Amino acid sequence: MAGIEILPVDSLSRFLTFCKLPRLLYKGEKGFAPPLDAERWTVYGHKLNPHFKLVEAQEFLARRNGQWVGRIAAQIYKPPIEPVGASRAQWGTLDAIDDLEVVRALTEAAEAWLGARGAERINGPFSPSINAELGMLVEGFDATPMILMPWHPRYLSRHVEALGYTKARDLISYRYITAEQDFRDNLRIAERREWRNRLKIRQLDLERLKKGETALMAELFNDGWRDNWGFVPFLKEEFDASADVLKYIMPPEFGIVVELDGVPQSFAVTLPNLHEITADFDGRLLPFNLPRLISRFRKHKFRTARLALLGTRKTLQNSATGGAILLAMIEEMRQRGRNAQIVQFEAGWVLEDNMGMRKPIEMFGGQIDKIHRIYEKHLPGGAGAPAPVTQEATP
C-alpha cells in the first residue's frame, strides 16, 4: 500500500471532492449515472442531514500520486439506537478504482476508526443509513440507472470479499415493465363489494407535507418496518428535510395513502427517474444547469420511475386485510403509472427473505433487476483509544 494516503474529510474542499468522486471514477461506465453534486451535499453534509444527529461519523479519501482514488465513510450509532440485527458500527459510500490495495487501505481506515470506538462487528455499506442508499451492487450492473440507487463497478464487491467480508443480507430490486402486462378490466381490490366502502385511496397532500403528512409517513414507515433487519427509526426531521424538494420533483398522483375505515394504514411514494433529464449534466447543477433542469422537468415525459418509500402498519401485515391493502396499493400505482405513460417502474429495495413483499410484486409481473449486498466482518479486539489518522496507510 505504499504511496496510498488516507485523508480525513476535514475541510470544505475535501467534502466537495468526497461528494463528487464517483462521477470522476466511473464516468462513461455503462449503468452509471452521476447524481447531482448539490443533492449529494444534502445527503453527506452533517449539518444538512438529520441522520447525523444519531451517529458519530467520519469520512475518508484515498489519494495516490496526487490523484484521488477512493472514498469511504464510517459511522457508529449513539446509544440508545440499536439497529435490528445489524451492528451499530457501519461503513458506507465505498467507491474506488480497480485496485485491491486501495480498497484495503480504505476499509482498514474505517475498521480502525470503528474499532477504536469499541466495534467488534461491522456492517456495510450504509450510505449513510438503511433509510437512504445501501448495499453494494452485485447484480444488474448494466440495468437502467435509477434515482437514489447506488451503483458500483463489478470489481468492487470482489475486492471487498477478498478482504474477509461476508454476506449479511441481499437486497432485491424489481423491474416492472408496464407494456408487458395484461391490463384486462378485472375488478380491482378497492372496487370489490367487501372493500368498496372500507378502503379509500387518496393522494398525499403536497401542500400540507410538513403540517401532518410527514408525521403520518414517519409513523407508518417506522411501525411497518420496526422488526426488519437493520431497522433504525426514520426521523420525522428526515422526512421534513426532503419535503420541500418532494413538492417539486414528485407528481401529485405519485404519492398515495390507503385508509381503512377512515384511518390511514399505508402510504407509498414513487419518484420520477431524474437521471432521464440530468445524465448529461455530469453532476453539475450550478450555475448553468439549474434553469435547464427546471425547463426539462416541466416539459419531459418520464418513462421510468422508482417506488422509493412504502409503509404499512405492522398489525395488518401477514393478514388478509393487510394483503388486500398491499394489492390495492400496487394496483393503484400501476394504473397511475400507466396513465402517466411510465414504461418501467423499479420497486426496491426488498430484503431477500421478505417474502410477504416479494410475492405480491412477483405476482404482478415484477422481475429481479438489481441485487445489492450488505457485508459483515468481525474485528479482532475492538476496544481501545481512538487511533490517529495518518497521512499514509500503513502496510
Look at residue 184 in the predicted model and tell me its pLDDT. 52
- Fold of the CATH domain 4-171+374-378: Aminopeptidase (3.40.630)
pLDDT value at 182 more than 60: no
The model's pLDDT over 350-367, given as tens digits with 9 standing for 90+, comes to 999 988 888 888 888 889
More confident residue, 319 or 2: 319
Exposed e or buried b for every residue in 291-330, given b needs 16+ CB within 10 A?
A: eebeeebeeeebebbbbbbbbbbeebbeeeebbbbbbbbb
- Asked whether the domain spanning 178-371 has the same topology as the one spanning 4-171+374-378, the reply is yes
Provide CATH code, domain 178-371: 3.40.630.30
More confident residue, 384 or 211: 211
How do the domains of the chain map onto residue ranges? 4-171+374-378, 178-371
Per-residue confidence band for 386, with pLDDT thresholds at 50, 70 and 90: very low
The model's pLDDT over 43-72, given as tens digits with 9 standing for 90+, comes to 999 999 999 999 999 999 999 999 999 999
C-alpha closest to that of 228 among 308, 154, 172, 169: 169
pLDDT value at 388 more than 50: no
d(CA 331, CA 50): 34
The model's pLDDT over 146-166, given as tens digits with 9 standing for 90+, comes to 999 999 999 999 999 999 999
Look at residue 307 in the predicted model and tell me its pLDDT. 92
State mean pLDDT over 202-218.
Answer: 91
The model's pLDDT over 269-304, given as tens digits with 9 standing for 90+, comes to 999 999 999 999 999 998 889 999 999 998 999 999
The model's pLDDT over 189-203, given as tens digits with 9 standing for 90+, comes to 777 877 878 899 999
pLDDT value at 180 more than 80: no
d(CA 285, CA 293): 8
pTM of the model: 0.91
The model's pLDDT over 126-136, given as tens digits with 9 standing for 90+, comes to 999 999 999 99
Look at residue 326 in the predicted model and tell me its pLDDT. 85
C-alpha closest to that of 257 among 269, 248, 271, 243: 269
The model's pLDDT over 324-341, given as tens digits with 9 standing for 90+, comes to 888 888 888 888 888 888
Look at residue 131 in the predicted model and tell me its pLDDT. 93
d(CA 190, CA 182): 19
Residues above pLDDT 90, as percent of the chain: 72
Look at residue 323 in the predicted model and tell me its pLDDT. 84
User: What is the average pLDDT score of the chain?
Assistant: 90
Q: Taking the alpha carbons of 255, 261, 265, 266 in that order, is the dihedral positive or negative?
A: negative
d(CA 163, CA 28): 27
Q: Which residue is listed with cell 431524474?
A: 274
In the DSSP assignment, the letter for residue 391 is S
Look at residue 384 in the predicted model and tell me its pLDDT. 39
SS3 content of the chain, % helix, strand, coil (to 5): 35, 25, 35
d(CA 137, CA 369): 11
**344 Cα distance to chain centroid:** 18
